[in-house]
Structure 1
Amino acid sequence: MKFYDALQMDPAILKRKIAACGTKQEQMYYWVAMATRSVLIVAFAIVFISLLSGVFGSDNTPMAVALFCILLGIRFVNFEYCIGDSLLALAAALAILVLAPSAAAILPPLFLIPLHFVSFFALLSLTTQRPEMGNGGLYSFAYIYLTGNPVIGEALLRRGLLALAGYLLCGTILFLKHRHQHKTVRFHHVVRRFDLSKPVCLWQLRMALGVSLVMTAGQVFGVERFMWMGFACGSLLSEYPYSGNTFVRFRQRITGAVVGSCLFFILYLAIPESLHSLLGPLGGLCLGFCTDYRYKTAMNCLGALMLGAGIYGLQGAVILRITDTLLGAAFGLAFAAIFHRLVALRFLPAPNAE
């Protein structure tokens, strides 16, 4: 296998290849590929996000982060319908990511649930026909992150221009990589196929409603860093195949958040202050080696808490991260169980309700 081809592989695939290797030399080859892949992604992220933030303003760094994630994903995963409709769908998805978070920041609480639900459900309908490919988690992250970092006025205009630049880049990649796929499938075919007896449709509905409720609760009750609640809840509900029982993922999420937060606390105190800014990239590098959900959750804490510590202080950020994660994950666990009992069991054909 060419080294370039190995760089394109997910860590889970690389680790399976390492396990199947017969010699130390072969194992080292794939370990080096995994390490190189991780370094390149982090380096590219730093350059890409820094460049866009410098041009469009630091207040639009969250949009640059979202575009970076979309850029990485769109190379490998398409929307499952023809390229013409897919390009329109990408434009619509980015428009939602620009406008809905800013609207949520100024609308009265009464309108937040409808806004979040319609926006999030539309986003999933446009981008995620096969949740197992990861698009659901990707666009869910972008929506929640941007809702937690809204802008208005002139900054919103710059965010729109940034999204346009991102569309030109991501749209070009989408066209070059996927223009020959699903040529006969139109988006209206996807809409017509919507049926709550299908697990994917139940998954979309549950994701949209659950995230809408938890984000609204966070905003209405003034929860600090409420987007961390949204991440925890959305992560539980994004698990696919669809299941009414999310307890295993709940336990893994809490474990990862506590371990990651404690690790950040120790590292922050142990290293010189001049090196604190490296904790975020360190988490990104380690993430490139992770395949277990708990470890991914723990590594994600490093970058999140690096930002949070600058706002709330070290102890405040760590407590807030764990508390918000517990609240969001607990809500997701309870919501998944209630949704399954009240909705899913009425539509999923037996005996495949689980």
Structure 2
Amino acid sequence: MKFYDALQLDPAILKRKSAACGAKREKAYYWAAMAARSVLIVSFAIVFISLLSNLFGADNTPLAVALFCMMLGIRFVNFEYCAGDSLLTLAAALAILVLAPSAAAAAPAVLLIPLHFGAFFALLYITTQRPEMGNGGLYSFAYIYLTGNPVFGEALLRRGLLAVVGFVLCGGILLLKHRGQHKATRFHHVVRRFDLTNPVHLWQLRMTLGVSLVLTAGQMFGVERFMWMGFACASLLSAYPYSGNTSVRFRQRLVGAAAGCGAFFLLYLTTPEAFHPLMGPLGGLCLGFCTDYRYKTAMNCFGALMLGAGIYGLQGAVILRMVDTFLGVSFGLVFAALFHRLAAVRLLPQPEGE
């Protein structure tokens, strides 16, 4: 396998290939590819996000982060429509990501649930036909992150211009990589197939309702960094295939968050202050070697806590991260169980004879 081809593979695949090798040299080859892949992604992320933040303002860094993730994802996973409808879908998704968070921040409390529900369901429905490919997690992350960082006025205009740049970049990648696929599939074909007995559509409904409720609760009760609560809840509900039991991921999320917060706390205290800004990129580099959900959760804490420590202090950020995570996964666990019970009665096919 060429080294360039190895760089395109997921760390889980590279680890399996390394484990299957007998020679130390071959094992080292795949580990080198994993390391190079991680360094290249983090380096490109720093350059890409810094450039867009400088051009469109630091308050629009969250959209730059979301666009970076979208660029990486859209290389491998498309929307499963023809090229024209895929471009329209991309434009609609970006419009939702730009407008809905700011609308929710300005809306009265009574409108928050329908606003989040409508915007988030539309986003999931148009972008995620196969949840197992990861689009659901990608676009839910973008929506929650931007909801936690709304902008207004001139900053919102700059965010719209940044979205146009994102459309050009992601649209170009989409056409380059996928223009010959799904030529006969139009968006209206997918709309006509909507059926809540379909596990994908049931998953979309559960994900939308759960995330809408947790974001609304966070905004209404003034929870600090409520988007962290949203991330934790979404991580439980995004698991696919659809299942009413989210207890395994509940435990994994809590263990991962505790490990990540603990590691960050110790490193922050034991390293020079000049090293602290590098802890976010360090988490990103380590993430490139992770295949277990718990380790991914732990490494994702580094970037979040690096920013949070500058606002709340080290201890405040760590405590807030753990509290928000616990609230989010606890809500997700209870919500998933209640939703599944109702769905089993109303929507899911019943065994014969019952």
Q: TM-score range by the shorter chain?
A: over 0.9
Distance 1:115 1:191 in 2: 20
For 2:345 and 2:145, locate their aligned partners in 1 and report how far apart those are by CA, in whole Å. 32
Structure 1 spans left out of the alignment, 5+ residues: none
Match of 1:127 in 2: 127
**Partner residue, 1:198:** 198
Who is 1:248 aligned against? Answer: 248
Quote the residue 1:218 is aligned against.
Answer: 218
Q: 1:105 & 1:195 partners in 2: Cα distance?
A: 32
Deviations, residues 213-246 of structure 1 (Å, cap 9, x unaligned): 0000000000000000000000100000000000
Deviations 1:74-114 (CA, angstroms, capped at 9, x unpaired): 00000011111010000000000000000011100000000
Matches within 5 A, 1:1-354: 1-351=1-351
Secondary structure of 1:17's counterpart equals: helix
1:26-65 Cα shifts (integer Å, max 9, x gaps): 1000000000000000000000000000000000000000
Q: State how many pairs are aligned.
A: 352
Does the residue aligned with 2:143 lie in a helix, a strand or coil?
helix
Aligned-pair CA distance for 1:208: 0.4
Distance 2:345 2:230 in 1: 25
- Following the alignment from structure 1 to structure 2, what is the Cα–Cα distance between the partners of residues 218 and 118? 18
Shift of 1:346: 2.4
Q: Equivalent pairs: percent with the same residue?
A: 80
Conservation of the 8 A alpha-carbon contact between 1:56 and 1:158: yes
RMSD: 0.9
- 1:237 partner amino acid: L
TM-score (norm 1): 0.98
Residue 332 of structure 1: CA displacement?
A: 0.3
- Deviations along 1:155-177, one digit per CA (max 9) or x if unpaired, are 00000000000000000100111
Flag structure 2 segments of 5+ consecutive residues without an equivalent: none
- Cα distance, 1:345 vs structure 2: 4.1
1:351 is displaced (CA, Å) by 4.9
Opposite residue 331 of structure 2, the aligned amino acid is F
Q: Secondary structure at the match of 1:44?
A: helix
In 1, the alpha carbon distance for the partners of 2:190 and 2:2 equals: 37
> Closer, same or farther in 2 for the Cα pair 1:14/1:317, shift >3 Å?
same
Residue 348 of structure 1: CA displacement?
A: 1.8
* Residue 232 to residue 351, structure 1, CA distance change in 2 (3 Å): farther
